Amino acid sequence: MSRHQNRNQPPRESQRQLRVGELIRHELAAMLSRGDIHDPVLDAHMITVPEVRMSPDLRLATIYLMPLGGRDEKEVIEAFDRNKRYVRGEIARRVNLKFAPEIRFRIDERFDEAERIEKLLRTPQVRRDLKDN
């Protein structure tokens, strides 16, 4: 553990993890924009790929997705899971890695969390406490 890292925080990702995650994110975004993944659910949605997190050994990629407007999240994840083998093969072919990482798809919940915090900050109790300081 680095001497500047807090024990309560998870370890930071290495530069290599960040770089590989970004390569995979760009490639998946390009595949979506070209329409390379043929699935009626995915064809009917605009999907953003805000982040890809890699495991330290680069053998697992967690791909965070967000359908535009946040609608049909479950169906979108199911569609990606149905096409996981194809996506993994294309990523392995296009991103030069020693191993093709296993991939899993998750909905990006950062926007929901940010909205929840924003609502909390606007509550009368918090405003009162901020005003007193």
> What pLDDT sits at residue 129?
74
Pairing outcome for strands 102-107 and 60-67: parallel
Per the structure block, which two tokens stand in for 123?
A: 């509550």
State the total domains in the chain. 1
Indicate whether 131 belongs to any domain. Answer: no
Pick the residue with more confidence: 23 or 117? 23
Indicate whether 23 belongs to any domain. Answer: yes
Lowest mean pLDDT among 45-59, 77-91, 99-113: 99-113
pLDDT, mean of residues 124-129:
77
Indicate whether 116 belongs to any domain. Answer: no
Phi and psi at residue 46, in whole multiples of 5°?
A: -90, 125
pLDDT, mean of residues 33-52:
93
| 1 pLDDT more than 50 | no
Indicate whether 1 belongs to any domain. Answer: no
Host domain of residue 36: 15-108
Query: Residue 42 sits in a domain of what CATH number?
Result: 3.30.300.20
Which among 83, 118, 111, 88 has a CA at the least distance from the CA of 100? 88
> What pLDDT sits at residue 112?
63
Indicate whether 10 belongs to any domain. Answer: no
Strands (E), 6-127: 47-54, 60-67, 102-107
